[in-house]
């Protein structure tokens, strides 16, 4: 393990600028995947559980591949790992285009698994270096600001998805995967450009532990005994599960007769407001987070999400629609704040900590699928009580972090 060079701040600024594109495209493509679900429920008349296999396949890679990907990152270094992740995502986008042309649902699921495995590379590599390279007290603010660019992509995606995926979904004889080619082709082009940009700066973090040895078994046990980290893993599982569930089913919820009875196109457009709330909250939230008090802000956001989701589950109508859309604002600071609070500060522990936090993203596979099963039995609105409970887990993590000692994040040194 070598020390960071004296120009760590310029390196951090360069890394931040490069990461903007990664976060933007990650958000854009992730929400486009969510927009496939209402399309399939309409054109293939799938039930909620069947359609939500899309999210199951997309998020399953976080559990399946996190361990080998972490080992690869330690071996090849962060910048090369990012290039690899972007390249795998590009292959996934092209595979999705091919699967859409063949109108094969199994091939769609395989392409989504490929796409998400590339995102797993980025989740572990980018989130870790952005958190640990730079001023420690601004780690949560730095990650939250980048998540704002991620949200910018999530705001644009429903607009594109509504036009290309949902506008003609009710037309007689509409193809099951119509409209997929153009948005994912644009995504593939953007991923190619980013991969080239990162490849040209592949030695930016030459001081990082590209050749670091894996953690010895004893040290791994210490990491797993970190209560803050393990509670953070549960909080990430709950957060991603709740956010993906609501983002995926929001259009269906708005189309319900007792909610807004919106058309597929109108519902798809309204989903933009959900992601716009997250974008506004992340850009705005990065400012107070610079001053600290991250656990308190997280507790406030989580309690708001619990309340709003419960209202949507019980009230329905315009009140329920407005409440569920407003959850996006509460989501804004959750992921980066949980990540920064939970990530271990020790240089040799951070990769494993990041791996465990990334594996927790499998909540985006489990919670939506379980919610879909519940929705098929008792209705979509009551099923929203499950994501409401997930936000309760986050609130408990925040309150525990408020009561606990603050954790410092390593500055100017890669792990």
Q: Could you read off the pLDDT of 161-184 as tens digits, one per residue? A: 777 766 655 555 556 555 677 888
- Identify the H or E element spanning 188: helix 181-200
Give the Cβ contact number of residue 215 at 10 Å.
Answer: 17
pLDDT given for residue 1 in this prediction: 35
| pLDDT tens per residue across span 80-113 | 889 999 999 999 999 988 887 887 778 888 888 8
Whether the per-residue pLDDT at 409 is higher than 50: the answer is: no
Instruction: Give the residue, 273 or 101, on which the prediction is more confident.
Output: 273
The whole-chain average pLDDT of the chain stands at 81
pLDDT digits (tens, 9 = 90+) for 29-43: 888 887 777 766 666
Query: Largest Cα–Cα distance of the chain, in whole Å?
Result: 64
State the average pLDDT over residues 403-407.
54
Rounded to the nearest 5 percent, the helix, strand and coil shares of the chain are: 80, 0, 20
Band (pLDDT 50/70/90 cuts) for residue 6 is very low
Q: Is 276 helix (H, G, I), strand (E, B) or coil?
A: helix
Q: Which of 158, 134, 148 lies closest to 31 in space, CA to CA?
A: 158
Other CB atoms closer than 10 Å to residue 307's CB: what's the count? Answer: 16
Span 306-358, pLDDT tens digits: 999 999 999 989 999 999 999 999 998 898 889 888 988 666 677 778 788 88
First to last CA, the chain: 8
What's the sign of the alpha-carbon dihedral 194, 197, 198, 199? positive
Q: What is the pLDDT of residue 218?
A: 56
Percent of residues, the chain, with pLDDT higher than 70: 81
pLDDT for residue 367: 94
**Over residues 223-242, mean pLDDT:** 92
Using N-to-C axis directions, what is the helix angle for 334-342 and 317-331, rounded to 10°?
A: 40
Backbone phi, then psi, for 180, in 5-degree steps?
-75, -35
User: What band does 204 get if pLDDT is binned at 50, 70 and 90?
Assistant: confident
Average pLDDT, integer, range 210-226: 60
DSSP label at 361?
A: G
Identify the CATH number of the domain defined by range 8-211+218-403.
Answer: 1.20.1250.20
Return the closest-CA partner of residue 324 out of 378, 373, 256: 256
User: pLDDT-derived band of residue 3, with 50, 70 and 90 as boundaries?
Assistant: very low
Residue 29: exposure state from Cβ atoms within 10 A (0-12, 13-18, ≥19): buried
| Domain locations in the chain as residue ranges | 8-211+218-403
Out of 37-46, 61-70, 89-98, 283-292, least confident range: 37-46
Q: Given a cut of 90, is residue 52 above it in pLDDT? A: no
pLDDT of residue 336: 85
The span from the CA of 26 to the CA of 36, in Å, is: 16
- Decide: 371 and 49 in contact? Cβ < 8 Å: no
With the CA atoms of 286, 292, 298 and 304 taken in that order, what torsion angle do they form, in degrees rounded to the nearest 10?
-70
């Amino acid at each position: 393990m070598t020390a960071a060079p004296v120009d760590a701040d310029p390196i951090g600024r360069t890394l931040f600028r490069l990461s903007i594109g990664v976060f933007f495209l990650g958000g854009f493509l992730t929400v486009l995947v969510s927009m496939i679900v209402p399309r399939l429920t309409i054109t293939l008349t799938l039930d909620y559980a069947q359609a939500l296999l899309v999210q199951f396949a997309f998020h399953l890679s976080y559990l399946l591949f996190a361990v080998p990907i972490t080992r690869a990152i330690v071996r090849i270094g962060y910048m090369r790992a990012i290039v690899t992740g972007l390249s795998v995502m590009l292959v996934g986008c092209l595979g999705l285009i091919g699967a859409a042309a063949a109108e094969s649902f199994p091939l769609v699921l395989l392409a989504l698994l490929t796409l998400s495995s590339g995102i797993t590379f980025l989740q572990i590599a980018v989130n870790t270096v952005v958190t640990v390279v730079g001023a420690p007290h601004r780690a949560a603010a730095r990650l939250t600001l980048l998540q704002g660019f991620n949200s910018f992509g999530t705001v644009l995606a429903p607009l594109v998805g509504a036009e290309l995926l949902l506008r003609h979904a009710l037309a007689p004889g509409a193809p099951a995967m119509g409209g997929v080619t153009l948005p994912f082709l644009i995504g593939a082009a953007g991923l190619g450009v980013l991969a080239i940009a990162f490849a040209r700066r592949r030695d930016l973090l030459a001081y990082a532990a590209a050749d670091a040895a894996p953690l010895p078994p004893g040290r791994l046990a210490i990491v797993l005994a970190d209560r803050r980290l393990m509670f953070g893993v549960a909080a990430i599982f709950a957060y991603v599960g709740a956010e993906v569930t609501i983002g995926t089913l929001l259009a269906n919820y708005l189309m319900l007769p007792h909610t807004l009875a919106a058309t597929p196109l109108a519902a798809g457009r309204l989903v933009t407001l959900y992601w716009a709330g997250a974008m506004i909250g992340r850009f705005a939230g990065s400012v107070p987070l610079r001053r600290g008090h991250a656990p308190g802000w997280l507790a406030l956001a989580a309690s708001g999400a619990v309340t709003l989701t419960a209202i949507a589950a019980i009230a329905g109508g315009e009140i329920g629609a407005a409440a569920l859309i407003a959850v996006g604002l509460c989501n804004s600071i959750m992921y980066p704040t949980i990540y920064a609070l939970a990530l271990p500060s020790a240089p040799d522990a951070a990769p494993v900590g990041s791996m465990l936090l990334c594996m927790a993203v499998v909540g985006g596979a489990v919670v939506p699928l379980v919610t879909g099963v519940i929705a098929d039995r008792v209705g979509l609105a009551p099923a929203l009580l499950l994501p409401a409970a997930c936000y309760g887990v986050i609130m408990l993590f925040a309150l525990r972090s408020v009561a606990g000692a603050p954790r410092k994040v390593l500055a100017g040194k890669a792990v």
